[in-house]
Amino acid sequence: MAFSVPPLPYAFDALEPYIDKMTMEIHHDKHHGAYVTNLNKALESAPNLQSKSLEELLANQCAIVPDNIKTAVRNNAGGAINHDMFWKIMAPKAGGNPSGNIGQAINSTFGSFDSFKEKINAAGAGRFGSGWAWLVKKGSGIEIISTANQDSPVMDGLFPIMGVDVWEHAYYLKYQNRRPEYLAAWWNVVNWPEIEKRFNSAK
């Protein structure tokens, strides 16, 4: 069974004015679409891997993937799993302050929600080139990291609770070179109930 792109769980223009419709169309259909197409293509030569989950393909630096397709799987399975999460942890009429277990964990780890936001924004703004800023589950705690390209925290055994895409394709049409402005706006579409679910299910 080939991998596919799940439909966006809301309309392309639902995250306006923070993320514009055209960015969402191109990002979901073309960019996420290409990761899935290229992953399926790479796995044509490894039929035994086609039934694996994205997590299984990425685990331990793609340990189960043969060398000749390792880079393609790392980039494209990473792109697929990162975007599967990204669409879900955003929603229209969202944002605000986190509550529940995730709200507590953020406050106890980072002191306050504002301080957490600052650290995520700094991780995103400071990522040179393309990549992601993440909040991950590590052991019994949580931690902010960033990764390059489409590298997933799953490759290092970390569970991504939430992450923000800082590739230019995520913001350039509306924000051009102003990545910090995109990051500031992004908090208005963060879907805390979904992030709470991910946090509670994190292994």
151 or 165: whose CB is closer to Mn ion? 165
Find the binding residues for Mn ion in span 160-179 (CB under 5 A): 165, 167
Token digits of residue 162 = 């939430």
Choose between 116 and 167: whose C-beta lies nearer to Mn ion.
167
* Shortest spacing between CB 127 and Mn ion, in angstroms: 13
Q: How many CA atoms does the CB half-sphere of 126 hold within 13 Å?
A: 11
Cα separation, 15 vs 12, in Å, equals 7
Q: Does 151 bind Mn ion (CB under 5 A)?
A: no
Helix (H, G, I), strand (E, B) or coil at 162: strand
Query: 14-53 mask for Mn ion (x: CB under 5 A)?
Result: ----------------------------------------
Let me know: does 157 contact 59? Beta carbons within 8 Å: yes
Q: What's the min distance (Å) between Cβ of 51 and Mn ion?
A: 26
The CB-of-139 to Mn ion minimum distance in angstroms stands at 28
Please, which residue, 57 or 164, has the CB nearer to Mn ion? 164
In whole angstroms, the minimum distance from the beta carbon of 191 to Mn ion comes to 17
The CB density around residue 185, as the number of other CB atoms within 10 Å, is 18
Closest CB to Mn ion among 167 and 186? 167
Site for Mn ion (CB under 5 A): how many residues?
2
Shortest distance, position 84 Cβ to Mn ion, whole Å: 11
CB of 158 to Mn ion, least distance (A): 19
Per the document, the length of the chain is 203
Distance CA 78, CA 5 (A): 13
CA 127-79-177 angle, to 5 degrees, is: 40
Residue nearest to Mn ion (CB): 165
Strands, E assignment, the chain: 131-138, 141-148, 159-165
Identity at 163, one-letter amino acid code: G
Nearer to Mn ion, 52 or 83 (CB): 83
- Residue pair 195/161 in contact (Cβ under 8 Å)? The answer is yes
Q: Please, which residue, 159 or 167, has the CB nearer to Mn ion?
A: 167
Which residues contact Mn ion by CB under 5 A?
165, 167
